Amino acid sequence: MSKALGTFRAFYVVALCCIGSFLFAYDTGIIGGILTFQSFENDFRYTSAEKATVASNSTSILQAGAFFACFFIWPFTAKYGRRRAIMLASALFTVGAIVQTINTHSLGAFYGARAISGIGVGMATVLIPMYSAEMAPKEIRGTLGSGFQFFFTLGVMTSYWVDYGVKINLPSITAQWQIPVGLQLAPGAILGLGMFLCEESPRWLTKVGRREEALQALAWVRGGDSPDVRSEFDEIVTSLEEEERLTNGVTWRECLLPINRYRIILVVVLQIGVQLTGNTSLAYYAPQIFTLVGTGDKSLLLTGFFGLVKTVACLFFLVFLVERIGRRGSLMGGALLMGIYFILIAVLTKVFPPDPNQGLTPSSIAALTLIYLEAMTYNISWGPVPWIYTSEIFPSRIREAGIAIGTATQWLFNFVFSQVTPRAVENLGWKTFLMFGIFNFSLVVFTYFFIKETKGRSLEDMEQVFAKRLGVAVNAGLDHEAQGNPEKVREKAEDILEIERKVSGNV
């Protein structure tokens, strides 16, 4: 009974995490649709000539808020815990969503609300994977991470269909854009209120010295106290004690050591590469992109199917590929295929310019097919893999700093490309696809020369991989005997520290 209860509670935490992912994705997806509504343009009193500016500002301001939230949330959650931080993220997002839903007739108020929601979204994207990983049992941690990515695509797909539904069923009135915006209040509230039915992270409670509460929290999420729970708690305590001993005196300066600096630069470039693929731009401005290739008044309908294709592709990756193909091969193959697709789309739209009066032509259907294939390829390569890679290449001593920098980079360049894309579509036309094609081919070269395969490698193996990259020979052949054995944990920790000392002294 206790095991079944523990499984139920673990999946409850997973469901909450997926709601956070869904929320982020839904907010990302709706903006591109409502910006095509005449009702939104009328209510906020801007001209057609200002559409591109309003589109880029509406999206990029949210990204800017999320970027700064990445640096704010680390000290906050370290002091106040995961649950309170997630509640704060939910509250901020909800406040921003309420103001966005109100017809203020002011773009300034709408932009301000987007910034507030962005802070909440940025906090959530950092906190939710952290909290769920600390709460979930080992057996479902991988599934949990995969579910987060899957529900992201599900949120985007839902936003596309909601936009399409209000477009065809409601006249051009205020409610037409208020309904898609207002619906995000539901998952935002569920995320925050759901935290009242959860316990705090046992790892955080242990870290701040509240061990009795930590054991109770662990027993809750595992369905009751038992010898296995006690053993797991002992491992948490031993691991944290050893981590505190090894990291005593560690400062930001350690991030600048050559082996760590190399990894940080690698993660930064990898996250920039996610934006260079062009898929994020497609997600934000799908209706505008589809209009560019000649879909006419069917752009929102086809955007809905675009979201469906992405969701199915991501589900396929999670079920059949996530543990079967390597990181390097997935990134190289994905970038190569996406580059080919974008070049072909550019050729089709150049040679057969779309005519709004003709509707869907054979050339526009071919271009749409290629866009769908690009989205499917992205969701089995550059969609999920960079996040996996970012989380696994850093040593425990700087892992929080490394992931924070990677997450902030993702948001910063989301901001940059949300500014660039609508103007590129407006001014470059078919050359926008050519640009993304060239970017993808450059990512193939980058992956070939700089990305090392990490599938199936332990943390100790990571130290060996990156030490060898910089010309330092180390012996990282550590086994798995340390699990549950405090003395072995200490031995392995000393070995890791020795590797880092060797690297620091040789580069």
360-370 residue pLDDT tens: 677 777 877 88
Average pLDDT for the chain:
77
Q: How far is CA 416 from the centre of its chain?
A: 16
Give residues with Cβ within 8 angstroms of 21, minimum separation 6.
128, 147, 148, 149, 151, 152, 155
Residue 478 has pLDDT above 50, yes or no: no
Residue 243 has pLDDT above 90, yes or no: no
191-223 residue pLDDT tens: 888 888 888 988 889 888 888 888 988 888 888
| Mean pLDDT, rounded, for 303-330 | 70
Q: How confident is the model at residue 475 (pLDDT cuts 50, 70, 90)?
A: very low
* Helix 459-469 with 486-506: angle, nearest 10 deg: 10
Tell me the backbone φ, ψ of residue 484, rounded to 5 degrees. Answer: 80, 5
d(CA 465, CA 499): 11
What is the structure's pLDDT at 336? Answer: 94
- What's the whole-model pTM score? 0.72
Identify the residue with better confidence: 401 or 302: 401
Nearest to 483 by CA among 246, 242, 245, 239: 239
d(CA 207, CA 79): 10
Q: Which of 308-312, 353-357, 426-430, 488-492 has the lowest mean pLDDT?
A: 488-492
SS3 of residue 472 by DSSP: coil
Q: Which of 155-159, 256-260, 404-408, 430-434 has the lowest mean pLDDT?
A: 256-260
Give residues with Cβ within 8 angstroms of 113, minimum separation 6.
95, 96, 97, 98, 99, 100
CB pairs under 8 A, 24+ apart, for 351-360? 354/292, 354/293, 354/294, 354/295, 355/294, 356/294, 356/296, 358/294, 358/296, 359/294, 359/295, 359/296, 359/298, 360/294, 360/295, 360/296, 360/298
Residue 176, token pair as written in the block: 């037409």
Residue 135 has pLDDT above 70, yes or no: yes
d(CA 33, CA 416): 20
What is the structure's pLDDT at 151? Answer: 81
Q: How far, CA to CA in Å, does 247 sit from each of 78, 137, 254, 398, 493?
A: 16, 26, 10, 9, 11
Q: How confident is the model at residue 99 (pLDDT cuts 50, 70, 90)?
A: very high
What is the structure's pLDDT at 359? Answer: 61
What is the structure's pLDDT at 287? Answer: 58
Q: How confident is the model at residue 481 (pLDDT cuts 50, 70, 90)?
A: very low
Burial of 92 (0-12, 13-18, 19+ CB in 10 A): buried
Identify the residue with better confidence: 149 or 168: 168
Residue 472 has pLDDT above 60, yes or no: no
Residue 492 has pLDDT above 70, yes or no: no
Q: How confident is the model at residue 270 (pLDDT cuts 50, 70, 90)?
A: very high
d(CA 222, CA 218): 6
Q: How confident is the model at residue 338 (pLDDT cuts 50, 70, 90)?
A: very high
Residue 231 has pLDDT above 70, yes or no: yes
Nearest to 167 by CA among 178, 176, 157, 158: 176
Identify the residue with better confidence: 404 or 293: 404
What is the structure's pLDDT at 483? Answer: 45
Identify the residue with better confidence: 194 or 357: 194
* 463 dihedral zone (left: phi>0; alpha: psi -120 to 50; beta): alpha
Residue 176 has pLDDT above 80, yes or no: yes
d(CA 56, CA 61): 8
Residue 275 has pLDDT above 70, yes or no: yes
| Mean pLDDT, rounded, for 455-479 | 55
Residue 179 has pLDDT above 90, yes or no: yes
Q: How confident is the model at residue 47 (pLDDT cuts 50, 70, 90)?
A: confident
